[in-house]
Structure 1
């Protein structure tokens, strides 16, 4: 419940921006207004990213609790380790993507791309937040809730990816080979590594 303080703070400070953000899947107004206007690292994004990191970690912890032996679940260091892992994973991934922008002399394009992807990732964390509440207080250790939350999480982020690819199709077609390398190295490989680690 502590994580809820972060979007509430964002709402109180950035009221109009927050409501543009909330209707993101149904209206691209938020992306249109803020992609070029704001820097990637601003307080609104930071607050929502902290909310996302906490809820992603908690959701992974609930998955861990459902599928792992009881002796491992009771380990008091599991949640802090998962929190540090998720934070480092997302930070390193974001920095690597921005570094690619410097390499290809397209920092502004990569900055916009990361901003849009992060926006959808932050939005999908609200689905995980609801799932975390249900898994903690209502449907404890429910595999159905976990499955539904994962599907919603993936659907929201796939919508984000499709939006990004559609908006930058000319740029991608110009650097198609490098885009494939980027996709394999910074999108698919980290997920495979994370999945292997959790397995």
Structure 2
């Protein structure tokens, strides 16, 4: 058996991101073990959401750990996808990744501010905080999928467009499950406030997402 030399690109800054992601997950599991195991089953049951039916859910330590985790890994997946689909096989652009991370963070903060303002002005603050927590929780789970996809894209299946599409499809499925569960749990409220719900979708869900996607395409 003849040993074969493999030239592996220097991925120091991406390795740091993976290490930071693992630290966040480890801290979450260590300090919030019941929440961690409930979170792993989030797409299959509502136990994780039920554990956080209280005030301050948005500033819960475990929730914050996971939100940082998903921002790091969702930005990295976008970075890898944009490079690959543009035909650029390079990992030496940490500044571009930092810009993507900043955009995702700003997008999340803007949506959070608008939705909290909506809850304040229309006197449905508790409903809005519940909705925000549930949506971000499913996005956090999608971030876990992105993390696994990123690991395989970097260390096992580098340059695989199929893997990127499969990862994005799983993330979309997870987020869709969250939307379906949220709509099902609030169907009576939605039917009695149909016009308000349509305005909410257009102003706070569809429009910001369309602007974000348009920016990435540009």
Same fold (TM over 0.5): yes
| 2:109 counterpart residue number | 91
| 1:167 counterpart residue number | 185
1:149 to 167, 182, 191: 167
State how many pairs are aligned.
199
Q: Following the alignment from structure 2 to structure 1, what is the Cα–Cα distance between the partners of residues 56 and 185?
A: 18
Report 1:117-156 matches (<5 A). 117-156=135-174
TM-score (norm 2): 0.86
| Structure with greater Cα Rg | 2
Q: Following the alignment from structure 1 to structure 2, what is the Cα–Cα distance between the partners of residues 169 and 14?
A: 32
Contact 2:35/2:51, CA 8 A, preserved across alignment: no
Q: Following the alignment from structure 1 to structure 2, what is the Cα–Cα distance between the partners of residues 27 and 38?
A: 22
1:23 to 19, 35, 41: 41
Q: Deviations over 1:68-113 (max 9, x none)?
A: 2549975442011111111111111112111111121000000001
Pick closer, same or farther for the CA change 1:185–1:62 going to 2, 3 Å.
same
2:81 to 42, 63, 82: 63
1:52 to 70, 95, 114: 70
Q: Deviations over 1:110-165 (max 9, x none)?
A: 00011111111111111100000011111112110111001100000000001111
Pick closer, same or farther for the CA change 1:163–1:57 going to 2, 3 Å.
same
Structure 2: which 5+ runs fail to align?
Answer: 1-17
| 1:4 counterpart residue number | 22
Contact 1:65/1:141, CA 8 A, preserved across alignment: no
Contact 1:97/1:186, CA 8 A, preserved across alignment: yes
TM-score (norm 1): 0.94
Runs of 4 or more consecutive aligned structure 1 residues displaced over 3 Å after TM superposition: 69-76
| 2:203 counterpart residue number | 185
Q: Following the alignment from structure 1 to structure 2, what is the Cα–Cα distance between the partners of residues 60 and 120?
A: 18
| RMSD between aligned residues | 1.7
Pick closer, same or farther for the CA change 1:90–1:113 going to 2, 3 Å.
same
Q: Deviations over 1:17-57 (max 9, x none)?
A: 11111111222111122133652112111100000000000
Q: Following the alignment from structure 1 to structure 2, what is the Cα–Cα distance between the partners of residues 76 and 22?
A: 30
